[in-house]
Amino acid sequence: MERLESAVEQISGFIYPNEIELHWGLLVVLYPYITGLVAGAFILASLEKVFKVKELEPTYRLALLTALAFLLVAPLPLLAHLGHPERSFEIFLTPHFKSAMAMFGFVYAWYLMLVLLLEIWFDYRADLVKWGRKAGRFKKFLYWVITLGSRDLSPEAVEFDKKAVHTITLIGIPSAFLLHGYVGFIFGSVKANPWWSSVLMPIVFLFSAIVSGISLVLLIYYVTTLFRRKQPEMACLDKLASFLLYALIVDFSLEILDFIHRLYESEESIGILSELIVSKLYLSLTIVQILIGTIAPLLILAYSRFSRLPTELKRVAYFIGALLVQVGIFGTRWNVVIGGQLFSKSLRGLTVYKLELGGIEGLFTCIGLLILPFVILYILIKVLPPWEEASLALSEDAAVSTASAD
Amino acid sequence: MKIWRIPDQVIRLAVVLVAAVAVLVVVRGRFVPASFGETGHYRADAVDVVAAQPIRYAGSQICVECHDGEGEAKSGSFHRTVSCEVCHGPAAAHAEDFESQTPLIPRERGAECLSCHEYLSPRPTGFPQIIERLHNPLQPCIGCHDPHDPTPPEVPESCSACHAQIARTKAVSHHLTLECETCHDAQAEHREEPRSFLPRKPTAREFCGSCHSESADSPADIPRVDLRDHGERYLCWQCHYPHHPES
């Protein structure tokens, strides 16, 4: 009741009674943010496999594992938000096509089960068999389970794995587009909400997903090499920064296009939307999303990529740029989800969002849910090391042992 | 293990996939209720479960069969669309057995009225709203308003036409039921030439004392003072604003 009272004090204009409190809070902001990271990381991984961008080879497996770690966490914000998580499996048991939300079951099962897991499985299979041979009892058993007991390392089998990875990646690219385009579709198809209802919404979501995925992999690659006391490959970082810059330009252009389109079309909602932008969303949209999260990293990335900065400085600049991009993309999700609920359907008033610290919808839950994928990624990296040297060392060992046997 | 030319790993994956589908089929058979999908994308038995729930509300029609006086008063009032059980609570048990089952009779100042009439900015303009802590505090709503015909009390229009602000102030005070003429003796000419024929104000402490002195013959809930030692050198309205005495 106290929360309601303090919210009522900040309401402006006329709003309907059921619009005082926002129904979708921080947890729903988190959902498109995390799925965006998944789709973006996967699309980055596919660049190396399908489009043969050789510079990105060091991040291929890392990007796949990142996508998996975040995909495992992706449904949790929704489950926490909806309550009754024990019922969530019902979406898989009684699927249907009549609701965009219910499509989550299909999209998630297809993307997790068939695309991502299969690609990782085929890509790691040969290495897992080799690692299993040298590992201790527990790890040997673990690798045996993961490989489903497959031990065939014949050239034909390995060749088949490579082809399978290539084919799955080809299927995976439209799947990744589908995963995040679908999240954008959910918002874009809410006809009654002029802030969301736009055919550009899935496309904007998709490109912001690509931007966030690339920047996340750049950050993780940079930090993990530091912790492993290695030098990050500059060619790889340069390429990542280039792709991040290009994707950011496309993303920003699309958002500006969407904005201009709304202004030019100027429907009856334009009044309240302008008021929303200059009042309640001023900080999160203009300052955080556009200035700090888009224009600042655009300038930093463009300058550091195409100038003759010292390598060390360049790396730090890339890191800061990617970090700001994350802030900006989180801002994008915030402004879409929260912004779309701040104005009344009467188009005559604005309400307010009160962020809680504790509780299931609170800030601490969200921070926990944001840390969780990194914990999963840490475990995944321990089981499936994505580093080149882990794979190379074994192939050298194998070469040596084959030579000595000869 | 190679069957024709299918690679070993694909066979293993296929086995896992088949096993997973088999588990899904078994789980589906176990958890999806038998009546699911019969009449739509839901458990058809759910309709029977809902239908079997005990009835708690009787509906207004059955109330007015006995309480016809209240029903008639309500039927032409602002509350005509408000169902009886909104204020009196579920009354199906009372309708079944009116002697031993008594419905809620809200006599205290409380949520029954305020859930609709407490001030909230989103409520439509013109809808009667009050700020509870300012509107005649401590008095139960039904002390002044008849809930079955809640037409707001009005001061005589002849006064409020010119003294609208005073009328509005008085309307939310303890003195709302007093006619203006109770305290002001206004000559008929005041209406034509208001400044030449000013109405008189009470000139004696005893006038207020007729309700508020300790010996007054008035209802017990009216505040009392001892006129002998309570601000004896002043008239009451020199300290207390009579149109909103609680302010």
Burial (CB < 10 A; 0-12, 13-18, 19+), residue B230, is middle
- pLDDT above 60: residue B114: yes
- pLDDT above 50: residue A404: no
* pLDDT-derived band at A294, boundaries 50, 70, 90: very high
What is the DSSP code string of A57-108? HHHHHHHHHHHHHHHHHTHHHHHHHHS-GGGTTHHHHS--SS-TTTHHHHHH
Predicted local distance difference test score (pLDDT) of residue B157: 67
Predicted local distance difference test score (pLDDT) of residue B4: 63
- pLDDT above 70: residue B1: no
Most confident of the following: A12-21, A218-227, A356-365: A218-227
Q: Which residue has the tokens 């004392």?
A: B209
The per-residue pLDDT for range A178-197, each reduced to its tens digit, is: 877 888 898 898 888 899 98
| A1 in contact with B, Cβ within 8 Å | no
Predicted local distance difference test score (pLDDT) of residue A100: 80
| A84 in contact with B, Cβ within 8 Å | no
Q: What is the ipTM of this complex?
A: 0.75
User: Closest to B9 (Cβ–Cβ): which among A15, A92, A125?
Assistant: A125
- pLDDT above 50: residue A40: yes
Cβ contact (<8 Å) for B27 and A125?
A: no
**CB-CB neighbors (< 8 A) of A349 in chain B:** 122
Residue range B216-242: mean pLDDT, rounded = 85
| B193 in contact with A, Cβ within 8 Å | no
Chain A stretch 307-366, residues whose beta carbon is closer than 8 A to a beta carbon of chain B? 349
Residues A175 and A141: their CA atoms lie apart, in Å, by: 32
Predicted local distance difference test score (pLDDT) of residue A405: 43
* pLDDT-derived band at A398, boundaries 50, 70, 90: low
State what percent of residues in chain B have pLDDT above 90.
29
CA nearest B36 in A: which residue?
Answer: A94
Cβ contact (<8 Å) for B9 and A157?
A: yes
The per-residue pLDDT for range A80-96, each reduced to its tens digit, is: 998 888 888 888 888 88
Predicted local distance difference test score (pLDDT) of residue A92: 83
**CB-CB neighbors (< 8 A) of A20 in chain B:** 122
- B210-215, long-range: CB within 8 Å, 24+ apart, which pairs? B212/B236
Query: Which one, of A201, A151, A153, lies nearest residue A181 by Cα?
Result: A201
- Over chain A, what is the mean pLDDT? 88
**CB-CB neighbors (< 8 A) of A125 in chain B:** 9
| B81 in contact with A, Cβ within 8 Å | no
Residue range A15-33: mean pLDDT, rounded = 88
CA nearest B14 in A: which residue?
Answer: A148
* pLDDT-derived band at A176, boundaries 50, 70, 90: confident
Chains A and B form CB pairs within 8 A to the count of 54
The per-residue pLDDT for range A63-79, each reduced to its tens digit, is: 999 999 999 999 899 88
Predicted local distance difference test score (pLDDT) of residue B203: 86
- pLDDT above 90: residue A242: yes
| A160 in contact with B, Cβ within 8 Å | yes
State what percent of residues in chain A have pLDDT above 90.
45
**CB-CB neighbors (< 8 A) of A149 in chain B:** 12
Nearest Cα of chain B lies from the Cα of A16 at a distance, in angstroms, of 5
Predicted local distance difference test score (pLDDT) of residue A238: 92
The per-residue pLDDT for range B100-112, each reduced to its tens digit, is: 888 888 888 877 8
* pLDDT-derived band at A308, boundaries 50, 70, 90: confident
Residue range A306-323: mean pLDDT, rounded = 91
**CB-CB neighbors (< 8 A) of B12 in chain A:** 148-150
Nearest Cα of chain A lies from the Cα of B9 at a distance, in angstroms, of 6
Selected residue with higher pLDDT from A400 and A378: A378
* pLDDT-derived band at B47, boundaries 50, 70, 90: very high
Cβ contact (<8 Å) for A19 and B41?
A: no
Predicted local distance difference test score (pLDDT) of residue A66: 95
Nearest Cα of chain B lies from the Cα of A148 at a distance, in angstroms, of 7
Nearest Cα of chain A lies from the Cα of B81 at a distance, in angstroms, of 19
Cβ contact (<8 Å) for A17 and B13?
A: no
Cβ contact (<8 Å) for A17 and B28?
A: no
- B211-220, long-range: CB within 8 Å, 24+ apart, which pairs? B212/B236
CB atoms within 10 A of CB A101: 10
- pLDDT above 90: residue A139: no
| B33 in contact with A, Cβ within 8 Å | no
Give the ranges where A281-362 is alpha helix by DSSP (H). 296-306, 311-337, 339-342
The per-residue pLDDT for range B32-44, each reduced to its tens digit, is: 999 998 988 889 9
Query: Which one, of A185, A208, A156, A205, lies nearest residue A328 by Cα?
Result: A208
Predicted local distance difference test score (pLDDT) of residue B185: 86
- pLDDT above 80: residue A394: no
The per-residue pLDDT for range B131-172, each reduced to its tens digit, is: 888 777 777 888 878 899 988 766 556 788 778 888 888 888
CA nearest A10 in B: which residue?
Answer: B121
State what percent of residues in chain B have pLDDT above 70.
96
Cβ contact (<8 Å) for A148 and B16?
A: yes
- pLDDT above 50: residue A403: no
Selected residue with higher pLDDT from A19 and A373: A373
Selected residue with higher pLDDT from A253 and B177: A253
User: Closest to A17 (Cβ–Cβ): which among B13, B31, B120?
Assistant: B120
